[in-house]
């Protein structure tokens, strides 16, 4: 399908792309602060209300590749608008939900819609944005994601305090309606014929969704009291993934052409994205334990210290993209990995020496490194993606990021706890907690060595990723 070119001076199109990412990120973070209220209102356990967040994350992860492929087949603008409409309808369901069951259903709908909002802006950016500005736009999208993550808890907390928990979902509804208008006006309609000989690979999509669902359940099961044994979930993941690969080999129009995954550029980009995303989670899931038990901070102070991370991400996203445009993707990817590695080493050393200032300094070093990497890596991957498969490639980028987040959220606390030993954290000394925290981040920094090896393996980035002989629209 032929997407329209970017109209000069039309900032509404750029606002539509950035706003979609912001809305999807806000949908994750704005509800986290509502969990205690929901537990009280519905007389539910913590394990039950956690699914208000997890239902969104899991459905987003499961659907993101299929969402990108739908954009390739039926037009990114059309599918993006459909995703926004679904987000609005799901927000209404959440806002009027009489019980947790209806609220969970609404959150699943929001998550499916968020998969579209996460996958298609990068795809549209390649079609609408001049090549020399791609880095800056990727940096802007990263900034919007950081702002949505940082803004959600404080915005949600204020609304709940003033108007109750339903106001959170009314806010998401209003934002979705506004984005529908901006997208409809700002992004021009598709030019040329709308027909395509390719078809959606629904069977492949089903098996991939099942594999991702089982993996997500294995990564989050311990947090929600799930009774299914871990080995059964991992076995189900392996079976569904094997079935997916088998169907992709036989499909005339595969969801993910396997030859594409064998391309060195795409494979290295996705692997690096997964590693970096997993390590990014370490500051979010391990940091609070150290701040609370290692430095003795209360919830308010810990939140203020951790807010330095999203603030640094919001400030560094656009400059990271501009540097990518100026110096090229290879240099900035490597610079981002080196800077983030240095920041992780600072996490291991500085908080033990100077306390809170050392923790904040490490955040300020690490977060811009992540932003440099993400802007450059996303730019390189999308620049090399075939036009007919850019939505699917964008979905794969989002999938690798989300899988990294889930992997990091599951493994990093486990690593930290194993280094701490058998003693309960609340009973451990601050010295023992500090040493476990330090070793955790030294190992995280060492894992970036694998990302750097992957970078050099895929360093030669051709102008385009070769298309598979199958699945061309």
Query: Domain 1-200, what architecture?
Result: Up-down Bundle (1.20)
For residue 136, name the pLDDT band (cuts at 50, 70, 90): confident
pTM of the shown model: 0.76
Distances (CA, A) of 434 to 293, 350, 383, 420, 460: 9, 11, 43, 9, 41
Q: What is the pLDDT of residue 105?
A: 93
* Cα 184 to Cα 325: distance, rounded to the nearest angstrom: 29
Residue 8's pLDDT band (cuts 50, 70, 90): very low
**For residues 319 and 132, which has the higher predicted lDDT (pLDDT)?**
319
Q: Is the pLDDT of residue 80 over 50?
A: yes
194-250 pLDDT, tens per residue?
Answer: 445 567 777 877 888 888 778 777 766 545 555 677 778 888 888 988 888 888 788
CA distance 46 to 54: 12
Both structure tokens of 206: 């089903």
Q: Which residue has the higher pLDDT, 132 or 211?
A: 211
Least Cα distance to 121 among 199, 64, 55 occurs for 64
Confidence of residue 345 (pLDDT cuts 50, 70, 90): very high
Higher pLDDT: 213 or 86? It is 86
pLDDT of residue 473: 43
What is the pLDDT, as a whole number, of residue 466? 47
Would the CA dihedral through 70, 76, 80, 82 be positive or negative? negative
- Please state, for a pLDDT cut of 90, what percent of the chain lies above it: 15
CB 143, CB 121: distance < 8 Å: no
- pLDDT at position 134 over 50: yes
**Structure tokens given for 143:** 């900034």
Looking at domain 257-465, which of 3.40.50.2000, 3.40.50.300, 1.20.1250.20, 3.10.105.10 is its CATH number?
Answer: 1.20.1250.20
Residue 245 neighbours by CB under 8 Å, 6+ apart: 258
Closest C-alpha among 294, 292, 223 to residue 439? 294
Neighbours of 313 (CB within 10 A): 25
- Is the pLDDT at 13 greater than 70, yes or no? yes
pLDDT value for 198: 62
- Longest alpha-carbon distance in the chain: 68
Give the residue extent of every domain in the chain: 1-200, 202-254, 257-465
Query: Is the predicted pLDDT of residue 23 greater than 60, yes or no?
Result: yes
273-332 pLDDT, tens per residue?
Answer: 888 888 887 777 777 778 878 888 776 677 677 777 778 887 887 888 888 888 888 889
Distance between CA atoms of 6 and 196, rounded to whole angstroms?
A: 23
Tell me if domain 1-200 and domain 257-465 are identical in fold: yes
Give the model confidence (pLDDT) of 201-210 as tens digits.
778 778 888 8
């Amino acid at each position: 399908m032929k997407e329209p070119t970017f109209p000069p001076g039309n900032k509404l199109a750029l606002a539509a792309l950035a706003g979609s990412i912001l809305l999807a990120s806000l949908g994750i973070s704005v509800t986290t602060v509502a969990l205690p209220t929901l537990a009280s209102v519905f007389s539910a356990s913590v394990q039950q209300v956690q699914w208000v967040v997890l239902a969104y994350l899991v459905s987003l992860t499961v659907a993101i590749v299929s969402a990108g492929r739908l954009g390739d087949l039926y037009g990114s603008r059309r599918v993006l608008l459909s995703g926004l409409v679904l987000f609005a309808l799901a927000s209404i369901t959440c806002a009027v939900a009489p019980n947790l069951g209806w609220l969970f259903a609404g959150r699943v709908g929001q998550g499916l819609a968020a998969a579209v909002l996460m996958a298609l802006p990068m795809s549209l950016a390649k079609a609408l944005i001049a090549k020399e500005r791609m880095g800056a736009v990727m940096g802007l999208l990263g900034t919007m994601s950081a702002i949505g993550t940082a803004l959600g808890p404080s915005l949600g907390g204020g609304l709940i305090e003033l108007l109750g928990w339903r106001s959170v979902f009314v806010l998401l509804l209003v934002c979705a309606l506004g984005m529908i208008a901006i997208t409809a006006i700002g992004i021009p309609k598709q030019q040329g014929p709308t027909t395509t000989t390719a078809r959606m690979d629904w069977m492949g999509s089903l098996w991939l969704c099942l594999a991702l669902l089982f993996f997500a359940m294995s990564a989050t099961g311990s947090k929600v009291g799930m009774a299914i044994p871990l080995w059964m979930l991992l076995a189900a993941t392996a079976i569904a993934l094997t079935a997916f690969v088998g169907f992709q080999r036989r499909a005339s129009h595969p969801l993910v052409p396997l030859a594409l995954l064998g391309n060195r550029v795409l494979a290295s980009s996705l692997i690096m994205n997964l590693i970096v995303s997993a390590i990014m989670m370490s500051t979010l899931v391990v940091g609070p334990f150290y701040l609370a038990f290692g430095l003795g901070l209360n919830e308010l102070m810990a939140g203020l210290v951790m807010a330095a991370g999203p603030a640094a991400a919001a400030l560094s996203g656009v400059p990271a993209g501009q540097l990518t445009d100026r110096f090229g993707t290879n240099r900035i990817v490597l610079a981002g990995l080196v800077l983030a590695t240095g920041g992780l080493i600072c996490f291991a050393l500085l908080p033990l020496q100077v306390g809170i200032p050392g923790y904040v300094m490490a955040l300020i070093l690490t977060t811009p490194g992540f932003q440099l990497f993400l802007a450059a890596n996303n730019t390189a991957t999308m620049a090399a993606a075939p036009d007919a498969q850019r939505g699917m490639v964008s979905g794969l980028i989002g999938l690798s990021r989300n899988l990294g987040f889930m992997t990091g959220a599951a493994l990093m606390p486990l690593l930290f706890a194993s280094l701490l030993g058998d003693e309960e954290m609340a009973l451990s000394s601050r010295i023992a907690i500090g040493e476990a925290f330090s070793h955790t981040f030294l190992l995280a920094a060492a894992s970036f060595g694998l990302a750097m090896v992957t970078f050099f393996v895929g360093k030669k980035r051709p102008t385009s990723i070769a298309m598979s002989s199958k699945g061309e629209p």
